Amino acid sequence: MTFDSSLLLFIVTFLPLLGAFMLLAMPREEENLHRGTGLAITLITFICSLFLIPDAATAKAGTWSAVLDWKWIEGLGIHFKLGLDGISLFLVLLATFLMPVVVLSAWRAVTRKVREFIIALLVLETGMIGAFVALDLFVFYLFWEVMLVPMYLIIGIWGGDRRMMASIKFVLYTLTGSLLMLVAIIYLYVQHHQATGVWSFDYDNFRNLVLTTNEQVWCFLAFALAFCIKVPLFPLHTWLPDAHVEAPTAGSVILAGVLLKFGTYGLLRFAMPLFPAAVALAAPYLTVLSLIGIVYGSLVAWSQTDVKKMIAYSSVAHLGFVVLGLMAWNGRAVDGAMLQNLAHGVSTPGLFLSIGVLYERRHTRRIDEFGGLWAQMPRFATMFLIITLASIGLPGLSGFVAEFLVLLGTFDAYRVWRDTGMPFMFGHPKVAGAIAATGVILGAVYMLFMFQRVMFGPNNNPKNKHLPDLTAREVVVFLPILLGVFWLGVRPTTFLDHIDPAVRRTLSQFQQKYAEAPESGKTPRMLVDAPNPAQGAGRGPGQAQPAGGTQGVP
Amino acid sequence: MNQFDSSWLGLTAPLNVVAVGGILLLLFESFTIGRGAPAGAAGTHGGAQDDRPARRGAGSLLGHPRAFLATVSLIVLALAAFLEVSVWNTVTAPQVIYRGMLVVDRWSVFLGMVFIVGAALSVLVAGGFMREHRFEFGEFYALVLFSTTGMLILAHAADLVTLFIGVEAMSLAVYVLVGSWRHSAKSSEGAMKYFLVGAFASAVMLYGIALIYGTSGTSSMLALAEIGRPGRPPVEVLGEPVFLVGCFFLVTGLAFKVAAVPFHMWAPDAYEGAPTPVTAFMAAAVKAAAFGALVRVLATAMSRPELTFGPSGWAVVSAVLATLTMSVGNLAALRQDNIKRMLAYSSVAHAGYLLVGVTAMAFAGAEARGPILYYLLGYTFTTIGSFAVVAWYGSRDDERQHIDDWAGMASRHPAAALAMTVFLLSLGGIPPTAGFFGKFYIFRVALSRPGLGWLVIVAVANSLVSVFYYLRVVSTMYFRELGREPTPIQSPGMVGSMFLAALGTLVLGLIPSWLVELASQATMFLAR
């Protein structure tokens, strides 16, 4: 929480934007210079972002680290406030980690308007990091919308044949949710002013604001719509396959790796702590939707003939797990959900990169066009196999721990829901856990089926006889992904040690605020006491007590 | 206040400067450039005549015959802007001058700046446009200044009679401007429609003023604001049906001028037919002036709660107008293939967002006026910028107003495409632009009072619809292959106008705090 680390956070956020301006000043023809600059900027950003970890570690007790708080629009109480905690830290790292990989992967794939492409990527990176670290909801909304335009351009300019439709669909889906969220944010802002006489968009202030159940439900609906579209939760997922299929590989990687995480991040960071009473009402419904998403996403993925579309639907299933974990509302499940975010954020980009490799060589993504590639491309086959197994959730690789924690937490959900008085709509949580577990099995089925048809068997298609194996550059692209996959599988505690305190803090505040929600129309007011960790909600048995106090921002 | 006070001249200095500047320009045009060559006045707008060396003698900074006049009008506007700043510093409290006819307050000064910005940006666009399309005539600049004079009178009006004079002075000049593109049939059609509807609206408004005067015995807005006080009209007037009809007609007349649905029918045709710089001027400055007048009338002359609330109060009327204007404007814009016409409907829709702010004023009072001012300034930059790009992109033989003509434009003119994208995103309300912050600012005040949540939801839904057609243009510019080679107009003035407008749009979106501060200082009115 020193001056240095907050400045570092500022630099990490805006360095990519600075790089975009630098590129604007460069001559148009020097394409390798553009790529090189893009790679350098994203690498420096990643290295800088690594230095955020030590500071976050000292703030392990579950407070914000690297808080930066500048007055921006004083008349309206808008602050430029950024900060990190265990939940956002690794999502920021995920974004900064993936960007150099993306730039490198697009080295040969993007040959048109290279400078503009790199600029779009860099602006997007600033938007993503900013949205993860914003602690003022106005600033959050700003970054959230800023992400939209470069992604729209990436799909629209460098995308496939139906890119016009896919890009507009992407924007309209996202905007539908976010505009209603804006209304809810302004509503909170006004309510906060009525309760305290202070105009503020500060997240910590909003979190201490007590609203009636009715208000909470409406605001939650607005927030949850925005985030569930982004997740994407069934039945709001229909933009995702189009966007993925039409986007260039780099776009798909960012979309799956980082942008989708905003949905679950937003639910955990904003929608749930701000409106606990509404969450209690909505949790069963969202649980059911996430279960449908898991099973339906898996089944639809199974029936795809286009590999990219299959991966897109598998994202629907994987992120269904995240929502399931969030809605179980105990430490284990939420930890698992956040870990699943990271696991999906590493393995799915890896899958998209693998498909990108195939597409660059064959210009098709149809499963039946391939077969027997193992002998042709042994290096690629190894990489692809490891990533596929990680996506399935093989123990020792990234997906396993996360899905396991989520399932474990879901089996415990009933206990929590009863404790918090949450109504329970359907059957037993063990049923929910069982349904979700079938998703894991289905995931293994369609992924292995696809892998088998693409990589094994006879190589009958003459077009596939002379496919070159991975180049050195492509191997370099895959290595960081493999590192992430193994690290998440073998040492998940590296991440959980940071995530867990932040999750516990969020849960305990949630619990306290839930208890305070007035039933009917009263003037808005603020929580009197600072949130107390002793009342922490839904600690699964055998989990450690959160360490230290859970004060808000000092 | 019965004696003439020479300080009044100082307080209305910007108005005086613009009016005198307009007259001088007109005289100058008649006595120098126009002499012996009826091209400017009589309608033979041959390009060859315009290029005759003798006619270059007037001196030109920008390299064409009438650039001198454009330069003079820009200097006049700059001087007026400078004077507005000094008036701003003088009037810490509102001052009534000319025996209750005009009022000088920061509201009118702020609005004056909006008009000046609008006029200046339009003048920058106009030179190149008129030269390209061969209808260059010097009175153009004089007419813009006359219209600006009318707007300034409108902004300062403290009496319904001055209000009417302002509206007429503004509108008469704009009728001529709309029709000035004489070899364009659409221009004549638009001018005719605009003139007929405008004259009708003026008549309705004047009739309303007459009825108000007839029942209450006063046409002073300040007196009407204080109905029931000693020396003012008695409270019973408020129950008088004729008085209410008068108020209704007055508001209707102003609703015509802001092009609120269902009084918008003239707008698409007039906007599409008018020379594009004039369209920009109308969509931005004329609209701002009409809104300024509407807000002034509602907040002073009709500020009594009996007139504001209730089933026939203006709060309800304004909410209904806002809903209709936003929805009809956006839905109609959705199905336009002509960019100019699409922007015309979009300008109707934006009047709807502004009416949300006007509705909020019924509940929040002066607090709602800051957002309206902010929105008007941001909208002026944005909309003039977008029309400037449209004007710049087409050449004489090939106006390129169909959306397909814009395919692949970004690959030839990336800077202009980027500017257009900024304007369109701002119109759609996507950060970090003036359009986003303006909408946020209006929504904030509307949500700060109970009861207007539904209107904000309607506005938000409309924003979403609007993004669809704005992005359609962006998609066409960026995502499609280049069609015919574009032949934009070579004009430094146009490029400058686009650049300044884009800069204004972004600055207002990124660092709005200083303007928020100024706008909140400009909300002081007399009465209420």
Residues B181-200, mean pLDDT to the nearest whole number: 89
With H, G, I as helix, E, B as strand and everything else as coil, classify residue B337.
coil
Give the pLDDT confidence score for residue B33 in this predicted structure: 57
Residues 6+ apart with CB under 8 A from A47: none
Nearest to A343 by CA among A508, A126, A499, A451: A499
CB-nearest partner of A171 from B431, B444, B467: B467
pLDDT bin (cut points 50, 70, 90) of residue B423 is very high
CB-nearest partner of A180 from B436, B460, B472: B460
Task: List CB contacts (< 8 A) between B364 and chain A.
Answer: none
Average pLDDT, chain A: 83
Nearest CA in chain B to A167: B475
Task: Give the separation between CA B503 and CA A404, rounded to whole angstroms.
Answer: 53
In B378-437, the residues whose Cβ lies within 8 Å of chain A are 414, 425, 430-432, 436
- DSSP notation for A148-196: HHHHHHHHHHHS-TTHHHHHHHHHHHHHHHHHHHHHHHHHHHHHHHHHH
CB-nearest partner of A183 from B430, B460, B472: B460
Q: Does A148 touch chain B (CB under 8 A)?
A: yes
CB A310 within 8 A of CB A326: no
pLDDT bin (cut points 50, 70, 90) of residue A541 is very low
pLDDT bin (cut points 50, 70, 90) of residue A428 is low
With H, G, I as helix, E, B as strand and everything else as coil, classify residue A426.
coil
Task: Give the separation between CA B461 and CA B441, rounded to whole angstroms.
Answer: 17
Task: Give the separation between CA B357 and CA B369, rounded to whole angstroms.
Answer: 8
Task: Give the separation between CA B486 and CA B507, rounded to whole angstroms.
Answer: 30
Asked whether the CA dihedral A470, A476, A477, A481 is positive or negative, the reply is: positive
Give the pLDDT confidence score for residue A518 in this predicted structure: 58
- Percent of the residues in chain A that have a pLDDT greater than 90, as a whole number: 23
CB-nearest partner of B475 from A146, A168, A189: A168
Element (H, E) at A203: helix A203-207
State whether A164 and B520 contact (CB < 8 Å): no
Residues A87-112, mean pLDDT to the nearest whole number: 89
Residues 6+ apart with CB under 8 A from B314: B247, B251, B298, B302, B307, B308, B362
Residues B285-290, mean pLDDT to the nearest whole number: 94
Task: List CB contacts (< 8 A) between B436 and chain A.
Answer: 145
Give the pLDDT confidence score for residue B192 in this predicted structure: 92
Q: Does B92 touch chain A (CB under 8 A)?
A: no
DSSP secondary-structure letter at A492? T
Residues B244-258, mean pLDDT to the nearest whole number: 92
Q: Does B452 touch chain A (CB under 8 A)?
A: no
In A126-145, the residues whose Cβ lies within 8 Å of chain B are 141-142, 145
Residue type at position B124: L
Give the pLDDT confidence score for residue B342 in this predicted structure: 94
State whether A182 and B479 contact (CB < 8 Å): no
Number of residues that make up chain A: 554
Task: Give the separation between CA A295 and CA A436, rounded to whole angstroms.
Answer: 7
CB A354 within 8 A of CB A362: no
Residues A147-156, mean pLDDT to the nearest whole number: 90
Task: Give the separation between CA B41 and CA B38, rounded to whole angstroms.
Answer: 5
Give the pLDDT confidence score for residue A415 in this predicted structure: 58
pLDDT at A422 over 70: no
Residues A8-16, mean pLDDT to the nearest whole number: 90
CA distances from A32 to A39, A153, A478, B27 (A): 10, 21, 21, 60
Q: Is B125 exposed, middle or buried (0-12, 13-18, 19+ CB in 10 A)?
A: buried
pLDDT bin (cut points 50, 70, 90) of residue A59 is low
State whether B479 and A183 contact (CB < 8 Å): no
Nearest CA in chain A to B436: A142
Rg (CA), chain A: 23
Chain B interface, best mutation among A179, A181, A183, by max B CB count within 10 A: A179
Structure tokens at A319: 């992120």
DSSP secondary-structure letter at B306? H
Residue A189 to chain B, least CA–CA distance (Å): 8
State whether B475 and A156 contact (CB < 8 Å): yes
Task: List CB contacts (< 8 A) between B520 and chain A.
Answer: 75
Task: Give the separation between CA A425 and CA A430, rounded to whole angstroms.
Answer: 13
Residue type at position A200: S
- Percent of the residues in chain B that have a pLDDT greater than 90, as a whole number: 55
Nearest to B135 by CA among B58, B26, B40: B40
Give the pLDDT confidence score for residue A465 in this predicted structure: 80
Rg (CA), chain B: 22
Task: List CB contacts (< 8 A) between A219 and chain B.
Answer: none
Encode pLDDT of B467-505 as tens digits.
Answer: 999 999 998 998 888 888 888 888 888 999 999 999 999
Give the pLDDT confidence score for residue B356 in this predicted structure: 95
Residue A521 to chain B, least CA–CA distance (Å): 13
State whether A176 and B430 contact (CB < 8 Å): no
Task: Give the separation between CA B254 and CA A105, rounded to whole angstroms.
Answer: 59
Encode pLDDT of A368-395 as tens digits.
Answer: 888 888 888 888 888 999 999 999 888 8
pLDDT bin (cut points 50, 70, 90) of residue B525 is confident
Encode pLDDT of B84-101 as tens digits.
Answer: 999 998 888 888 888 888
Residue B355 to chain A, least CA–CA distance (Å): 18
The partner residues of B104 in beta bridges, in order of sequence, read B95
DSSP secondary-structure letter at A81? E
Give the pLDDT confidence score for residue A420 in this predicted structure: 53
Structure tokens at B149: 């004079």
Q: Which residue has the tokens 């396991």?
A: A404
pLDDT at B233 over 60: yes
- Count CB pairs under 8 A between chains A and B: 78
**Higher pLDDT residue, B153 or A214?**
B153
Give the pLDDT confidence score for residue A62 in this predicted structure: 61
Chain B interface, best mutation among A173, A175, A185, by max B CB count within 10 A: A175
Task: Give the separation between CA A87 and CA A496, rounded to whole angstroms.
Answer: 10
Give the pLDDT confidence score for residue B174 in this predicted structure: 94
Element (H, E) at A73: strand A65-73
State whether B457 and A190 contact (CB < 8 Å): no
pLDDT at B51 over 70: no
Number of residues that make up chain B: 528
- Percent of the residues in chain B that have a pLDDT greater than 70, as a whole number: 93
Task: Give the separation between CA B285 and CA B498, rounded to whole angstroms.
Answer: 16
Of the listed ranges A414-418, A437-441, B113-117, B216-220, the least confidently predicted one is A414-418
Of the listed ranges A276-280, B59-63, B78-82, B270-274, the least confidently predicted one is B59-63
Give the pLDDT confidence score for residue B59 in this predicted structure: 40
With H, G, I as helix, E, B as strand and everything else as coil, classify residue A526.
strand
